[in-house]
Amino acid sequence: MSPDTYIHGTEPSEQERLAGLNRMTNAAFIQFLNVSPGARVLEVGSGLGLLANEVAATAPGVDVDGVEVSAAQLAAARPGPRVTFRQGDAHALDFPDGSFDLVYARYLLEHVADPDRVVREMRRVTTPGGRVAVCENDVSLLRFDPPCRAFDRAWDVFTRFQSALGGDGLVGRRLFRLFKSAGFSAIELSVQPEVHWHGSAGYVAWVHNIIGNLESARNGMLAAGVLSTADFDAAVDELERLKTDPLGSAVFVWNRAIAVR
Ligand SMILES: C[S@@+](CC[C@H](N)C(=O)[O-])C[C@H]1O[C@@H](n2cnc3c(N)ncnc32)[C@H](O)[C@@H]1O
């Protein structure tokens, strides 16, 4: 996928949203990765590099490489100690076979043209006995209460718009199949929950993140004529009201897979 077809784009407002999402989700994902001291690690689709920097700091002697297709994301990334970022495409990783002990991707497979090929590439560059891990989206699992009908309609358009760009916002449900096809046998699936309610610590930030998701695709959806300005505004207004609704709550799960090569 070229940077032009990346549904979220790389505007500063979107990079801020991605940084906020990192603050919300990094700790649980790093626990899931369970990185060993001295591990050679690769993040595929490393974005702003925030996660890669935290992964490198989780245990002594961990080296992390990040591969990212977008020059704008790389320009905003600040490598910490033992971290290197380079431009590249997840479909054709520029590393020899068996280069890493742990290869992971997060929020990437939904954006790539060929997730099967990306998972196969991730497996190829993993050392025998090493691990491959992913955490991905299935946007259909997002629930708000009280119901947000205007948002639900816009979210449905957003999902179809992402497919039209060559991505797949539902890819999270396919992880087991993708890993099997890539040749893995010992695969574990799990979920990382987002359960928030009015007054809970992460509630406003989570609803704000979902608004940011929609906003990142606003210009594209309006230009493509798949959503009207009025329908877009109604969806955002609904979620803005939900932020302050004393009865508001939100449930979602990220889909994860991990396997040994
Ligand atoms: C939602 S961001 C996630 C970034 C990071 N993994 C994180 O968790 O914060 C997805 C990133 O994947 C990158 N990307 C999309 N297609 C790619 C490809 N084919 N190869 C490498 N990176 C890609 C995008 O440019 C974007 O920075």
Report the residue among 68, 78, 93, 168 best suited for mutation to probe ligand 1: largest number of ligand atoms under 8 A from its CB: 68
C-beta 107 within 6 A of ligand 1: yes
Tell me how far the alpha carbon of residue 49 lies from the centroid of ligand 1, in angstroms: 10
Q: Is 93 in the pocket of ligand 1 (CB under 6 A)?
A: no
The confidence score (pLDDT) of residue 4 equals 59
pLDDT in tens, 34-83: 999 999 999 999 999 999 999 999 999 999 999 999 999 999 999 999 99
**Residue with CA closest to ligand 1 atom 13:** 45
* Residue 45 CB less than 6 A away from ligand 1: yes
Query: 216, exposed or middle or buried, with CB in 10 Å at 0-12, 13-18, 19+?
Result: buried
Cα-to-centroid distance, 90 and ligand 1 (Å): 9
Asked whether residue 1 carries a pLDDT value surpassing 80, the answer given is no
Residues 156-193 pLDDT 10s: 999 999 999 999 999 999 999 999 999 998 999 999 99
pLDDT digits (tens, 9 = 90+) for 188-235: 999 999 999 999 999 999 999 999 999 999 999 999 999 999 999 999
**What does pTM read for this prediction?**
0.96
Surface-to-core class of residue 138, CB atoms within 10 Å of its CB (0-12 exposed, 13-18 middle, 19+ buried)? buried
pLDDT of 137 higher than 80: yes
